[in-house]
Structure formats: structure tokens, C-alpha cells
A and B are shown apart, each in its own frame.
Chain A
């Protein structure tokens, strides 16, 4: 039996999520025995033709050419899994969605006319059907191995969609918000990192994006009441998953309105 083929694709991103695969130092050679790494430009100049059994896609869509390329990648991939906040939410470069990309270009480049880019940075799922999204900025190595193992064995990956708070409790970390008043996005943030930040005495900064049923409005009210200034509240969700948190808070606003009406 021929081994399943794995392809890794990059769009606008920092390379960190595909590097996570190479960071599996203890598992990489074993994995290479289980799958044929058929297309992984960061790691190999040998490229086997598709179609591929499993494609991992890193990065967001920010150019017209990439919007075309992702359609081609989808066509030649039996299963397509997006990895990381750029691919699942548009990444930090989605801050342009809330600004003026022409003005952004003029700030960075003296000759903006040489630069071709879209006005928005959008997740892969906005362009093609995606079979599974793995969250994180960056993704977690153990979760990546879980996703690879699951798809190689034809089952769904086990990556809980509850909040970082669950992971803090499991880790035995004292709540930084309750004990120290440290602003923390853990209650609204998707689990997966293992609750690293609170274990280091800082609040979660939301790099895995929104959890399954978040209430960011409640959290910002709570934070505001404890002295976090308005200007800072505006920025706390405006990072690596800005578009995902924005979509949630738009939805959360209507939920809250409904809640208010019942009072």
C-alpha cells in the first residue's frame, strides 16, 4: 500500500505554523515513515504531483493571485486543513480590513504602484471549503500531531473548543484575573495552547481566537470596571484573530440586546 501524501502550503504568514511541523523533533522521522511528504517547500525541493491526501494550509488570502491559488490547492487536495490564525481568521494582517490599505501601502512603500494586494486579509474558509481548522498563533505542536494522526486514521481530531480557563484549571494555575486583577482574555479564548500565559503570570492575549460560545462584551465590561481604559479595551481583541473576534462581538451584540430586552 502506498503511504498517504501530505502537502504543506503557504499564503500570507510568518512561516511559524509550518515550522511547528519541523519542531516535532521527536516525531518528524517517524512521521516521514508514515506519510509521503509530497509538497513542503520550506523543507524539500522535491515536489511530487498531486492530488494529495492531506493538505495543511498556512496563511491568509491577501492577493488576487493567492485567491486563485487556494482554489487550485483545494481542487488537488482530498482533505484540506487550515493551520493557524492567519489561515483560520486572516491573521494580524487582517488589521487592514479595518483600515485603509492604500494608506497602509503608502506608509511602508515609497512606490505603492509596485505593490499588488487586496484590501482585505481573509481566512481560507472564506474562499474554499475547509475540512478542519486548527487554531493558534502559532498552532500547538501536540494539537498538530493529533490532527495529523486523526486524519491518517480517518477520525475527527480531538481539539476541545472550550475556553483557556479550562486549561488553567487543569494545569492548576491560580486565576490571574481573580487573584491579581490582571486583564486576561482566557474566558473568551479557544483552548489549545495549554494556558501558557497565566502560568507565566500574564493574562491570555487571545492568540487562539474565540472559543465556541464567547461573550466578549461581558469580559470587556468586567475589564473596564477594573480600570482597563477604553483605548486599551479597543485594542485587546485587535491582534492575531482580529477578524474572528470582530465577527463574534458583532454577533454577541445582538445576543446582548436580546438579553437586555428580556430584563
Chain B
């Protein structure tokens, strides 16, 4: 509603995001006064009820924080518990973890690109509506998504909340022959992924440049996914154990997700951060796809994150094939992780950004405290700042157009609001 020049814009229930949220924009005169991303996903208290559970339980329990990226939760949990117990998992078991994680990246990114975000760029309310005009494109997207799920189903037992992950490794490691049909699926998926990168590169991208600090997991010699330390765009480097020295989570009244700052600054984690910090470590095929799609050494327009995701899908498929080609079944599917008193930390790259876990264990391996910092709470302050700048530059758009553009902008960050433990509800208040 417009009253003179003052207005509020409100999106009641944000669609095509994972979880429930709302957006509130207050405009006074020609100035954007306030932008709030309201997260009203009911709290589920994971950190509270993890206390008193055994050190073997977090991979299954924390997977339930998010049905879109359960593997991320399982992997960060495993790393943190193993760290507390002084165990390091490497070799083929680490390679299998990376393979499983590649499956989640492919599935989650294909879901986001085709089913959640592409309809915005092409002017459709949903992928199903888009499929009426672009049937072949949507079939390609679904095939790509299915290839990611094929990895999760074979190696994880099922696509959502995989059952095969345990602290120390896996319950069962696949035989080489089992991976051969998967490799065949992935070779077809590689062509689909390259076509996807070329397709999204042709979208029309609104202008928006961000200057946030960027944070991503970093591991020498590789595009970090399933393990590593942390690096920032400003040149800071620190281990997972120092995460809480730099990242401070604060509660804000309008959200059940906590807001995080990095050394007092808002920051962004996710595809743009990963690409800027590790892009030079992508495989040659993924780098070629990035160049062909018009990406330089860095990408600071959140709308173009859809291209980065597509390049990451190329990489994840390529990487999965590399791992399968070099796979030799490990002698045992897991290493023993005997409990001991201590604190452990783990960071991995969920498809939508850095996911931190910390556990305190007693001598019997019972959890006495747990801290989980999901990507969306880390990104929330940056999202709000970006939306503020975005709305200010488009202050003359009518409410309907502005609301649609804001929703599209929010989806740039692939917010997974379930991890706060709901829809975006956009309110523009022009009072």
C-alpha cells in the first residue's frame, strides 16, 4: 500500500526457499529505513537435546536439522567428534566422504538452480509452470538432480538423511564394481552440468555489487568441501578450533536464527566466497566452464551466484568421477573412534555455506555441550544489507515488482531457513 512517499513492503510467506521466513522493508520518503529478514521457523532446540547423547549419535541426529543438506550436518558432526577424540580419517574413507558430499552438492544445487531460482530469471512462479514452456530444460535439471541423488542413495543408503555415515567413516564401503554404473550416470551428468552452466550464463542479471567480508573452508590443493581450515577474503586464516574466536552469534528479536558477525563485521559464506577463495583450485573442466560462462577470478554480484553454483555442479560431477576412478575399497569401512574427554571442532562447506560444529565430550564420550552455526545465520546480516542497497536502487518500482525482485534477491543466497530450525513473508512499509 502506498501512502504518499512512505510505504512498507511485506512478503508474507516467502516461497521457493527451504524453511519459513518473511521479509519486511520500511521506506520513509525515498530512503530505505529498515530491512529485516524475519525467520519464524519454530525453534527445535538441537543444541539442547544433544546434551547427554553419546558421541556416536550426532551424525544421525543433526542430519535432521536440514532435509536439503543432511550430509553437511553429518560431515561437520563427524569431523568435530573425531577432533575431540584425536582421530583423523584420511585415505579412501576421506575420499568416500568427499564423494558423498559431491552427491549432496549436485542434488542441492540442481534443486536450487532449476526448481527454485531459474523460474525467477525466466518469469515463472514455479518450475512446474516453467516446464510447460521449457520441458527439455527441466528434464535436464531433474536428470542432473537425480544423478546427485544416485550418489547419495548408493553410498548413503538413501537421498534424504543417509544412514551409512558413522563417526570414523561408514557402516559399509562399496565394492569397486558397484561404482561403475554410477560413473556411467555421472558421465551423462557431466554433459548436463556443462549445458546448465552455459544456460544460466545467458540469464539477465540485475546489478548489485557486494563488499562484504567472505568466509570459506580452505584446504591446500583442493576446492574445499568436506574438511579444512577457514580463510577470509581479507587474508585471515584460522583453524576450525578458532571459529568462535572470530565468529560471534547474536540474537535479534525478529528471528529464531542467530545473527553472526566475523570480527565485528557482517560477512558472507557460500558459493561466492568459495569461488573467490578457492576458484583457482577447480578442475580444468570446471574452470573452462566458469570462463565460458563469463566468470572472472571473482564474482561479487549475488545474482550471478547461480552461475557459480552451476560451475560447482560441473566440478562436483568431475570430482566424483575422479574419486570413483581412483577408488580402492578400504580394508575396513571405518576407523575406531574411542571416546575421551575433550572439545572438538569441525567445519565443512554445505551447499549454501560454511557449517560449524563444536562438541564437548566427557570421558565416556557423552556430549556435555554442543554448538552448531549453520550458514544461513551467518549470512543473514549480509542478506539484509544487500537487500537494503538493492531496494534503495529500485525505490521507484511499484510494490508488486519490488516484492518479486526482493524475493529473487533473497533466493540468491539459497537460504535454508529450516536450519534455524520457515516461508519468506515480505512486508514493505512505506509509512
Chain A interface (Cβ within 8 Å of chain B)?
A: 10-20, 22-23, 25-26, 28-29, 32, 37, 40-47, 62-63, 66, 91-93, 95-96, 99, 101, 103-105, 107-111, 114-115, 117, 121, 137-138, 141, 193, 196-197, 199-202, 205, 207, 232, 235, 239-240
Contact = CB atoms under 8 A, between A and B. Distances in A.
Contacts of A20: 160
Given A196-B158, A200-B157, A15 B45 contact: no
B131 interface: yes
B16 interface: yes
A103 B48 contact: yes
A22 B111 contact: yes
B64 A14 contact: yes
Given A44-B15, A62-B42, A108-B45, A29 B131 contact: yes
Contact of B171 (A99, A141, A200): A200
Nearest to B138: A29
18 contacts: A12-B44, A13-B418, A15-B66, A15-B418, A23-B160, A25-B143, A26-B146, A32-B128, A37-B128, A42-B16, A91-B64, A92-B64, A117-B42, A121-B44, A137-B161, A138-B67, A193-B158, A197-B171
Nearest to A193: B158
A200 B64 contact: no
Contact of B129 (A13, A46, A62, A235): A46
Contacts of A13: 67, 418
Contacts of B13: 41
Nearest to A43: B126
A235 B19 CA distance: 28
B97 to A, nearest CB: 15
Contacts of A114: 251-253
A14 B47 CA distance: 15
Contacts of A110: 250-251
Nearest to A111: B251
B142 interface: yes
B428 to A, nearest CB: 16
A196 B163 CA distance: 8
Contact of B68 (A16, A101, A235): A16
Contacts of A15: 18-19, 66-68, 416, 418
A23 B68 contact: no
Contacts of B57: 235
A25 B164 CA distance: 23
B184 interface: no
Interface string B3-44: 000000000011111111000000000000000000001111
Interface in B136-182: 138-139, 142-143, 145-146, 149, 157-161, 163-164, 166, 171-172
A200 B164 contact: yes
B253 A109 contact: no
Contacts of A109: 43, 251, 258
A15 to B, nearest CB: 5
B135 interface: yes
B19 to A, nearest CB: 6
Contacts of B44: 12, 62, 91-93, 121
A235 B53 contact: yes
A28 B149 CA distance: 15
A112 B54 CA distance: 27
A15 B67 CA distance: 5
Contacts of B70: 14, 16
Contacts of A19: 18, 67-68, 111, 160
Nearest to B127: A43
Contacts, number: 189
B115 interface: yes
A236 to B, nearest CB: 10
A-B complex: 4 closest residue pairs judged by Cβ atoms: A16-B67, A44-B126, A46-B125, A45-B15
A22 B108 CA distance: 11
Contact of B48 (A14, A16, A17, A99): A99
A66 B163 CA distance: 31
Given A66-B42, A95-B49, A17 B67 contact: yes
B61 interface: yes
A108 B43 contact: yes
Contact of A25 (B53, B149, B163): B149
Given A14-B70, A93-B421, 7 more contacts: A17-B67, A44-B126, A92-B44, A99-B48, A109-B258, A200-B157, A201-B171
B318 to A, nearest CB: 21
B92 to A, nearest CB: 17
B45 A43 contact: no
B126 A37 contact: yes
A22 B115 contact: yes
B361 to A, nearest CB: 15
A92 B64 CA distance: 8
A107 B372 CA distance: 12
Given A17-B67, A29-B138, A99 B49 contact: yes
B54 A235 contact: yes
Contacts of B127: 43-44
B65 interface: yes
Nearest to A234: B52
A4 B398 CA distance: 35
Contact of B146 (A25, A93, A105, A239): A25
A46 B43 contact: no
Residue among B43, B66, B139 with most chain A CB within 10 A: B43
Given A45-B126, A115-B43, A117-B43, A200 B172 contact: yes
B256 interface: yes
Contacts of A202: 163-164, 166, 171-172
B160 A138 contact: yes
B334 to A, nearest CB: 10
Which of A13, A17, A40, A200 has most B Cβ within 10 Å?
A200
A231 to B, nearest CB: 8
B429 interface: no
B157 A196 contact: yes
B262 to A, nearest CB: 18
